[in-house]
Amino acid sequence: MLQQNGKVDGVWVTPAGSLDVLSRLEVAALRRSSQGGLYGLVRGCALAVLNCGSELDDAKQIMEQFEDFELEVVQEERGIRLHLRNAPAAAFVDGEMIQGIREHLFAVLRDVAYVQNEIIGSPGFDLGDPAGITDVIFQIARNAHLLRRGEAPDMVVCWGGHAISDSEYSYTKEVGYQLGLRGLNICTGCGPGAMKGPMKGAAVGHAKQRVSGGRYLGITEPGIIVAEPPNPIVNELVIMPDIEKRLEAFIRLGHALVVFPGGVGTLEEILFALGVLLHPDNRGMGMPLPLILTGPACCEAYFREVDGFIESALGSEARACYRVIIDDSVAVAHAVKESLQQVEVWRRQRRDAFYYNWSLALDPALQQPFSPTHEAMAALDLSTSQPSHKRVADLRRAFSGIVAGNVKEQGIRAVEAQGPFVLRGDPALMAPLDRLLRMFVEQGRMKLAAESYQPCYRILDRQPGAEAWSSD
């Protein structure tokens, strides 16, 4: 193995995890995926997991830094091996790939190949049907061995930003620790910051309570994984095909939601959850889905702004869907633990599975993939005339587009070529949106390189000749 300029060349890697035993047909399918039209997708995801610990969150910059990285799937009688060229040296210790990174690398191959070979184009799956989408997410999760029967609800989904302060990160660890002491498992978006902190804290709590087999589930998707590579605590990784299926997977697999401070990606997650909770069918069923917003004392003003935006954009019924707990990790853990008892009772009564929330109703607008082109962003219906559970879907798409323009390679290149995305809507929505985005910029929540951040969006109201409000 040769090492030069932070890269290693000529590395052979054998499978780890659920790719240990494969048929010849499955191996052939993996080779097709890595050699054909999916090569760019497989390569990008593989580079992401090998680049764990990177200080960059700009997917375009990362891909350019390792533009000579190559991956080849080689067939053998016992299965497959990977041949890597110019891989990040940080993924290796004494010439051997770090075990956790090796597991993540083969999780990438497992999920990308499964979606391509078993789902895309299969007559058994209808990706245009809401129920079909939910079933696809279930099948991907089952193929990744994430579904466990007989276990009471204990999976706490933790959302929050990757660009957070030291005090905020410490608080996420403290909350995770309190959850771990109560035997609860953690699911996050698998990246750094508020996605890593709860897992790290829970691992200590589990160790103190001698909890064996603690679960640290990371759910990601190809568009974001390069900017937010899986952190080292993740011991179960799954790659969903797109952001919408990733968000639905959080809701279907998790039992409670805890949200820490973050930027536009965190607001996208909050809006998705609110879209679910505001759905008339879910409200009519009285389905418990605990949603708690929390942070240290220094974040009180942050949550006031978020809370004000939600009330302005979606009304008081949206505010009733969550609790805000400031600077009290024990209170958060108590609230989660009590809520999970309600979740268990409700699911038993409805005979719904503990490991997958089938009863949950999602509006199709939340499920359908959104491609944040300039035309699609400009066409979003950011008006107050829609019902709240419909309005939230386009608001979620607006934040998703800003995430793409900030850290996703395709979005960054689109903004470089055509200028910032333009968002137009009713002043009643645009003013609080503008104020919230200003706060994110001022607090450095858009990207890790906050001092050099250039907004990828412009905000206009619907008045003729309206000027951009805040983005430059």
pLDDT at residue 309 in the model: 94
C-alpha distances out from residue 134 to 131, 166, 274, 360, 424, Å: 5, 37, 18, 10, 31
280: amino acid identity, one letter? P
Average pLDDT for the chain: 87
What confidence category does residue 471 fall into, taking pLDDT thresholds of 50, 70 and 90?
A: very low
C-alpha distances out from residue 335 to 81, 156, 166, Å: 47, 12, 25
Concatenated DSSP letters of 1-35: -EEETTEEESEEE---STTSS--HHHHHHHHHHHH
pLDDT at residue 292 in the model: 97
Answer whether residue 246 shows pLDDT above 80: yes
Average pLDDT value for residue range 96-109? 89
Answer whether residue 225 shows pLDDT above 70: yes
375 close to 285: Cβ distance less than 8 angstroms: no
Looking at 108-122, 241-255, 355-369, 417-431, which range is the least confident one? 108-122
Average pLDDT value for residue range 160-165? 89
pLDDT at residue 112 in the model: 84
What digits encode the pLDDT tens for the residues 294-352?
999 999 999 999 999 999 999 999 999 999 999 999 999 999 999 999 999 999 998 99
Tell how strand 155-159 and strand 185-188 pair up.
Answer: parallel
Answer whether residue 422 shows pLDDT above 90: yes
pLDDT at residue 470 in the model: 45
With a pLDDT cut of 70, the percent of the chain lying above it is 88
What confidence category does residue 125 fall into, taking pLDDT thresholds of 50, 70 and 90?
A: confident
* Residue 420 CA from chain centroid, whole number: 24
CATH hierarchy code of domain 136-362 = 3.40.50.450
**Which helix (H) or strand (E) is 218 found in, with range?**
strand 216-220
What confidence category does residue 1 fall into, taking pLDDT thresholds of 50, 70 and 90?
A: low
Looking at 8-12, 129-133, 302-306, 329-333, which range is the least confident one? 8-12
Average pLDDT value for residue range 450-464? 74
pLDDT at residue 28 in the model: 67
pLDDT at residue 69 in the model: 85
pLDDT at residue 466 in the model: 42
Other C-beta atoms closer than 10 Å to the C-beta of 423 total 27
Average pLDDT value for residue range 130-139? 94
Q: Where do the structural domains in the chain lie, given as residue ranges?
A: 2-124, 136-362, 365-461
CATH hierarchy code of domain 2-124 = 3.30.1850.10
Residue 20 makes CB contacts below 8 A (sequence gap 6+) with: 79
What confidence category does residue 432 fall into, taking pLDDT thresholds of 50, 70 and 90?
A: very high
Answer whether residue 467 shows pLDDT above 50: no
Rounded to whole angstroms, how far apart are CA atoms 227 and 218?
14
Average pLDDT value for residue range 398-407? 91
Other C-beta atoms closer than 10 Å to the C-beta of 278 total 22
Which is more confidently placed, 397 or 84? 397
Q: How many CA atoms lie within 13 A of 269 on its CB side?
A: 28
